[in-house]
Structure 1
């Protein structure tokens, strides 16, 4: 690690969550999915929390916003992308069940309104929890199609601010993988963006210097990496890091969602070891998911 600071420590903002996932900085607060409870929660920088809504999903589920501000929720096991209407009701925005019977995981909406959802894919091999994942695209006109396959445990996704590159965490392949985004939203030119050695990237976000922050559950840290694999900063945590997001007033606060990991079979339990932590970083967030109050540019 070439950072002059070495591995750094973060401050606890709030605790008592189950599993925090899919963090988004929106309208001055951190939004997150409290897996295992169906809750979507907000936390401000002082740690004040509020349950915004409860969705008909236990896990996985993930969130983002359309350019017009409407709220989206991926209901992973149900194979549905839900949209919240003005009256607060959740309706089906897209049905992903025809593409896969396996759970869907993460979502990102780019600056043009293209929605990318990953997960699904072929059935797992005997004894495995996950098969090879896919990425599907839902265009603004509502069309749904698969745009990538054979993702080794598809996790966090982010889109560069020019809307030209999508980066996805392949947790079981220890790498970040990039695709060029075509004019029609399709993905091409698949390549390794960063080989991460023994790290297992989970949630990710992009900063204004073109680096990616990724969370890592088994290694209990968040790492900042340049394209090509140079790791330049690290934040150590005492439990698994599931996701991270840049936010705060100037975008220079890294929020980390962490929890104790007891295996897939124990993800839904009464344990409430989930925390939101924060630490100041040098470069602000950019791209999608956006830290900039949901504003699209």
Structure 2
């Protein structure tokens, strides 16, 4: 059994983990903070985002991009630490922004909720927006069942995305300009839900794929938001490895560490905002994989 350890605690709800230059960068939703955590568990404040941070990534020149969820913007942190607007996605999306992946050229792919999840509104599909390095933006893909964690495979030629309420991972071909095409099921965990009631959807699926990250062989590690586990999935849907998080649910993951084989896992008792907002039960877990 994989040995899971707690690296740091006292958070509200962690999301969007990314390993870079010896530290794990992560967003803590309800404290509105982007944090950097080293392998000893030392935590430092990187930025404060009043409208709730989520997905993270970097431009080629090293400036940090941060999803600002509630006002549906992507922010850019300048060299002096200040935040400025990189892209306004409010006209292209219908509810909070979500996770993000940024490629080597500085193109950002940003997912969104599509509906008021935390109030139990009817389930609606959402889109992925492509933000070019200059901040211009367009819808790259639509009709996704809560597009969530993303990563790039095949040397950047394939984008894989969790459809959290679709019981699957989907993939797209990526062309030289970043455009997406040829959508297909990359991995299916069972039939696609048909209900618009979120409780019925959660009861009908075998997994809720949330944050994900690629492994060196183009398998992906995926946090299962209802399964207290992170699973390593091959194309087609075979689960080739998994790490249990015990009694805690896990919502995002990233590979990193000095050896490149540390799996960082963002865990908490639940994802419900009214339960996480005023508590500090979120933890960062690690396992060697």
Is TM more than 0.5 here? yes
14-23 or 47-56, larger mean C-alpha shift = 47-56
Q: 1:242 to 1:129 in 2, by over 3 A?
A: farther
Partners of 1:152 and 1:9 in 2: CA distance: 33
Question: Does structure 1 retain, via aligned residues, the 8 Å contact 2:108–2:130?
Answer: yes
Which of 157, 173, 183 is 1:164 aligned to?
157
Are 1:29 and 2:37 matched, yes or no? no
Q: Which segments of structure 1 move beyond 2 Å, counting only runs of 4 or more?
A: 120-124, 126-131, 140-143, 262-267
* Alignment deviations for residues 206-259 of structure 1 (CA, whole Å, 9 cap, x no partner): 011111000012111100011011101111112110100000112111111100
The CA deviation at 1:266 is 2.8
Partners of 2:28 and 2:60 in 1: CA distance: 24
Q: 1:34 to 1:130 in 2, by over 3 A?
A: farther
Q: CA RMSD in A?
A: 1.8
Partners of 1:57 and 1:190 in 2: CA distance: 32
* Alignment deviations for residues 101-154 of structure 1 (CA, whole Å, 9 cap, x no partner): 411101111122211111154788x95265211001111233210010111011
Are 1:249 and 2:242 matched, yes or no? no
Question: Does structure 2 retain, via aligned residues, the 8 Å contact 1:159–1:165?
Answer: yes
Q: How many residues align?
A: 272
Q: 1:27 to 1:228 in 2, by over 3 A?
A: same
The CA deviation at 1:161 is 5.4
SS at 2:79 equivalent: coil
Question: Does structure 2 retain, via aligned residues, the 8 Å contact 1:74–1:82?
Answer: yes
Which of 225, 238, 242 is 1:234 aligned to?
242
Listed as ranges, the gaps of 5+ residues in structure 1 are 282-297
Structure with the bigger percentage of helix: 2
2:267 is matched with which residue? 258
Partners of 1:139 and 1:176 in 2: CA distance: 24
* TM-score (norm: length of structure 2): 0.89
1:203 is matched with which residue? 211
Are 1:15 and 2:23 matched, yes or no? no
* TM-score (norm: length of structure 1): 0.87
Partners of 1:20 and 1:167 in 2: CA distance: 21
Question: Does structure 2 retain, via aligned residues, the 8 Å contact 1:79–1:101?
Answer: no
The CA deviation at 1:265 is 3.7
Which of 107, 113, 126 is 2:106 aligned to?
113
Question: Does structure 1 retain, via aligned residues, the 8 Å contact 2:10–2:280?
Answer: yes
The CA deviation at 1:54 is 1.4
1:285 is matched with which residue? none
Alignment of 1:77-226 (within 5 A): 77-119=70-112, 121=114, 127-128=120-121, 130-160=123-153, 162-197=155-190, 198-226=206-234
